[in-house]
Amino acid sequence: MTDQSEHVLALRPIGFVSSPYQSTAEVPKGLGAKHGTEGILNILPQFAEGLADIEGFSHLFVIWAFDRSKGFELLGIPPSDNRQHGVFATRSPRRPNPLGLTVVELLRREGALLRVRGIDMLDGTPILDIKPYLSSIPEQTLRRGWLAEAEARQKG
Ligand SMILES: C[S@@+](CC[C@H](N)C(=O)[O-])C[C@H]1O[C@@H](n2cnc3c(N)ncnc32)[C@H](O)[C@@H]1O
């Protein structure tokens, strides 16, 4: 029987991020961190046709690779708390599959280039996929787990 965790998937970048952030220390972190930074999603020419009709969406999911993270830890203390949490309950860059997910606001499209607001990626980060952001979950049914508790402790 094969070990299913050895099942390797190959992914290729569809483009790269242009960001003002050159190092992880420059990216705002922790509770209340604001992500209003503007950047560019540069889509490779061979995938540009896939951007057809994207202008109609105000926000996008960007799936990308933490290409400068090393290894992973299953338990860690995130910058927004002083308590330990499981990696799958956090947005840590040090995860078994180093995939990042960021919701950005689409400001405008210029050919194969998307100007966006809300990036938290380093300059040159590989983009793996883009999807329209559509949230159908009413706010009153969303639970924010340990993050809500950490926020309440900070206020209290
Ligand atoms: C907490 S993660 C959250 C990223 C994304 N919004 C998510 O939820 O998957 C954001 C941090 O990832 C780090 N980061 C950004 N781009 C990276 C890259 N290309 N490689 C490794 N780490 C990166 C920065 O330190 C940034 O503060």
HEC assignment per residue over the chain: CCCHHHCCCCCCCCEEEECCCCCHHHCCCCCCCCCCCEEEEEECHHHHHHHCCHHHCCEEEEEEECCCCCCCCCEECCCCCCCCEEHHHCCCCCCCCCEEEEEEEEEEEECCEEEEECCCCCCCCEEEEEEECCCCCCHHHCCCHHHHHHHHHHHC
Q: In angstroms, what is the span from residue 88 Cα to ligand 1's centroid?
A: 15
pLDDT in tens, 51-91: 999 999 999 999 999 999 999 999 999 999 999 999 999 99
Q: Ligand 1: which of 122, 127, 128, 129 to mutate, judged by most atoms within 8 Å of the beta carbon?
A: 122
pLDDT in tens, 9-33: 999 999 999 999 999 999 988 887 8
For 82-107, what is the mean pLDDT? 97
- pTM for the complete prediction? 0.93
Whether ligand 1 lies within 6 angstroms of the CB of 24 is answered as yes
Q: Which atom of ligand 1 is nearest to the CA of 126?
A: 19
Whether ligand 1 lies within 6 angstroms of the CB of 93 is answered as yes
Whether ligand 1 lies within 6 angstroms of the CB of 91 is answered as yes
